Amino acid sequence: MTDAQRKICLRAIDHYGINHQEEKAKEELAELLTELSRLHDGRTTKEKIVGELADVLVMCEQLRLIFGAADVDKAVDYKLARLVRRIKLSGAVKRTRANGQGRNQAP
């Protein structure tokens, strides 16, 4: 997220208030969950998922600012390091992005 985008998130928190934005985050997370649940039976589109994902990312940035960016960033670092360890330990070879089969690629 850019500094300009972050400033807009801070402005939204100041304008609507913390409690309202926490409730809005729940709403946006639910909307993404709904679209993801429709992914494998053809009841959604990539565009709908991208839109809901953008909503969630904006709300997650607001939550990050509300709960403390440094603490959240530290937790993210920890979780990613743990993920790397798990991947290395599993020895899994499923590489959907590396072999061009990610969602951003044409089928």
Residues lying near Mg ion in the complex (CB under 5 A) are found at: 28, 31, 52, 55
**Residue 25, number of CB atoms within 10 A of its CB:** 19
**Shortest distance in whole angstroms from residue 42 CB to Mg ion:** 20
Q: 3-state DSSP call for residue 96?
A: coil
Residue 51 or 72 with smaller CB distance to Mg ion: 51
Q: Name, in order, each residue with C-beta under 8 angstroms of 60's C-beta and a sequence gap of 6 or more.
A: 25
**Shortest distance in whole angstroms from residue 31 CB to Mg ion:** 4
Residue 50 or 80 with smaller CB distance to Mg ion: 50
Residue 50 or 75 with smaller CB distance to Mg ion: 50
Q: Distance (Å, rounded) from C-alpha 51 to C-alpha 35?
A: 10
